[in-house]
């Protein structure tokens, strides 16, 4: 595998080792020197910088594109209403939010995991609620929607989970990134047992998520006709990189998918699944996580991308805290500024400038940890 596609986990350990090796020798001034060296090293390793004075002025197609926004609702994990109405209330709140956005977004992305256990009544309830979204909606599938009937009901309701479309000069791709290798047949599992296993965050019996070879081939073909200067935005349920394996915050073939996306100037991956503010940049690809309407996950014990603007510890007395929805503003250049709309908190915007400068410029207003 090419050195350029080292997983984020490996990179994290390399950085950490370097830091710990250097730490004992450091005074404050030395620390600044090391920091500067780290920036230089990052620049040397292929992370791109956009210092204003050197930025190329001509951006192909930019003149023909207009900026727009889309909003998202994700990870609602619906049970039947009479079993648990808390998550139903949350998705209703999110739909109310996106319906009241001003200006109106061009479309709404649903980020996957509409249902909790893939049941027909859960998916139907979700579909009934999402009918009330006033803008066009783009659906993505999550593992909680899939592993009871292997996507049968979801596809009846929403169509095929893998597709692409063009919108205002941007090429959008929606992937089904939560395929798993067959762990159930050898074990003689029922569909309910299979679903229950996948629904367990750290259940080690299941395999890791993957886009899979057939879909990678589809992706290669789909992108073959798209020019390199066209902005590409990819929606995937799981993060298209390797964050934390034990919780399946992970896509097994992430490096291969990133390789397919390498030829483009600007790629943005928007993913669900992790239920937290999450920011990463690998080569030419910006990654943004989505908030869940149901519950926030804590950050994983290791592997957290360093660009992540960490959200505050949720207030346990406020069941909506750490949850929410959000939007993304796509500039004429095809760059994406991501807004996390945390309920009962101030919204936090993670801009493309923040990512492009490797976290040096446009640092978002950090959440106030004391405010809960």
Partner 1 sequence: MIEHREPIGWKRGRARVAGIVGAGVLLTWSLVGVLNAETPASSAPKSADGGAVTAEQAKAVAERRRVETESPAKDAGAQKLAKGPHGALPVADQIMQIEKLGLTDSGEPPRGIDPLVWQSMVPKDNEPNAARIALGKKLYFDTRLSKDGTLACATCHDVSRSFTDRRPVSEGIADQLGQRNAPTTMNALFFQTQFLDGRAPTLEEQAKLPILNPIEMGQPSPEATIATIKDDAEYQRMFQAAYTRPVNYDDLARAIAAFERTLVFLDAPFDDFVAGDTSAISAKAAQGWILFNGKARCMTCHMLNPSNPLGTDDRFHNVGVSALKQDFEDLAGKALKALHGKEGQEGLEAVDRLALETNLSELGRFLVTKNRSDIGAFKTFQLRNIGITGPYMHDGSMQTLVDVMDNYNKGGETNPFLDGGIEPLALTDTEIENVVEFLNTLTDKRFAAEQRTETARQRAVAAKQRPFRDNALAMRKVLPFEARVMGTKEGAR
Residues that bind partner 1 (CB under 8 A): 81, 85-86, 88-89, 92-93, 95-97, 99-100, 102, 104, 129, 131-136, 315, 317-321, 323, 343-347, 365, 371
Q: Nearest 5°: CA angle at 289, between 284 and 291?
A: 160
In angstroms, what CA-CA distances link 170 with 165, 226, 269, 273?
9, 10, 13, 24
With respect to partner 1, which residue has the nearer C-beta, 55 or 346? 346
Alpha carbon 150 to chain centroid, angstroms = 22
In whole angstroms, how close is the CB of 318 to partner 1 at the nearest point? 4
Place of tokens 């390199």: 228
Of 243 and 343, which has the nearer Cβ to partner 1? 343
**Shortest distance in whole angstroms from residue 132 CB to partner 1:** 5
The nearest distance, CB 273 to partner 1, in angstroms, is 22
Q: CB of residue 360 vs partner 1: minimum separation in angstroms?
A: 18
By beta-carbon proximity to partner 1, the closer residue of 9 and 315 is 315
Cα–Cα distance, 357 to 340 (Å, whole number):
20
> Based on CB atoms, which residue is closest to partner 1, 13 or 165?
165
Tokens of 250: 């992970």
Q: Which residues of 178-196 are buried (b: 16+ CB within 10 A; e: fewer)?
A: bbbeeebeeeebeeeebbb
SS3 assignment, position 199: helix
- 61 vs 344, which CB is nearer to partner 1? 344
Question: Among residues 6 and 99, whose Cβ is nearest to partner 1?
Answer: 99
CA–CA separation, 48 and 316 (whole Å): 40
CA pair distance 80, 53, nearest whole angstrom: 56
Instruction: State how beta strands 107-110 and 68-73 pair.
Output: parallel
Q: State the nearest-atom distance from the C-beta of 86 to partner 1, in Å.
A: 8
- Looking at beta carbons only, is 90 or 230 nearer to partner 1? 90
Q: What share of the chain is helix, strand, coil (3-state, %, to 5)?
A: 30, 15, 50
The nearest distance, CB 216 to partner 1, in angstroms, is: 34
Closest CA to 279 of 311, 302, 256, 255: 311
312: number of Cβ within 10 Å:
18
b/e burial code for range 215-242 (CB count within 10 A of at least 16 → b): bbebbeebbeebeeebbbbbbbbbbbbb
Smallest separation (angstroms) from partner 1 to the CB of 336: 18
Q: Which is nearer to partner 1, 63 or 365 (CB)?
A: 365
What's the min distance (Å) between Cβ of 339 and partner 1?
12
């Amino acid at each position: 595998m090419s050195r350029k596609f080292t997983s984020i986990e490996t990179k994290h350990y390399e950085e950490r080792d370097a830091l710990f090796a250097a730490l004992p020798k450091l005074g404050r001034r030395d620390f600044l020197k090391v920091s500067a060296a780290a920036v230089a090293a990052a620049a040397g390793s292929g992370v791109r910088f956009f210092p204003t004075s050197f930025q190329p002025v001509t951006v192909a197609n930019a003149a023909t594109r207009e900026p727009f926004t889309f909003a998202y609702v994700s990870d609602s994990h619906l049970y039947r209403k009479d079993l648990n109405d808390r998550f139903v209330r949350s998705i209703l709140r999110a739909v109310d939010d996106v319906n009241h956005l001003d200006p109106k977004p061009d479309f709404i992305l649903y980020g996957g995991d509409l249902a909790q256990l893939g049941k027909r009544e859960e998916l139907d309830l979700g579909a009934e609620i999402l009918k009330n979204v006033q803008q066009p909606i783009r659906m993505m599938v999550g593992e909680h929607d899939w592993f009871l009937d292997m996507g049968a009901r979801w596809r009846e309701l929403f169509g095929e989970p893998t597709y692409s479309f063009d919108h205002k000069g941007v090429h959008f791709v929606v992937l089904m990134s939560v395929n798993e290798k067959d762990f159930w047949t050898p074990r003689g599992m029922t569909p309910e047992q299979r679903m229950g296993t996948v629904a367990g965050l750290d259940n080690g019996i299941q395999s890791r998520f993957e886009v899979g070879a057939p879909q990678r081939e589809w992706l290669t073909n789909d992108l073959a006709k798209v020019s390199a200067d066209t902005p590409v935005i990819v929606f995937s349920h799981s993060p298209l990189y390797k964050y934390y394996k034990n919780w399946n915050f992970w896509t097994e073939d992430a490096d291969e998918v990133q390789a397919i996306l390498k030829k483009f100037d600007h790629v943005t991956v928007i993913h669900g699944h992790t239920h937290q503010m999450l920011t990463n940049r690998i080569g030419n690809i910006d990654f943004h996580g989505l908030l869940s309407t149901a519950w926030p996950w804590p950050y994983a014990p290791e592997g957290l991308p360093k660009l992540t603007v960490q959200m505050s510890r949720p207030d346990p007395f406020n069941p909506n805290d750490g949850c929410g929805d959000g939007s993304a503003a796509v500039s004429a250049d095809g760059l994406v500024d991501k807004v996390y709309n945390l309920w009962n908190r101030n919204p936090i915007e993670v801009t493309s400038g923040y990512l492009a400068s490797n976290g040096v410029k446009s640092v978002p207003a950090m959440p106030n940890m004391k405010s809960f």
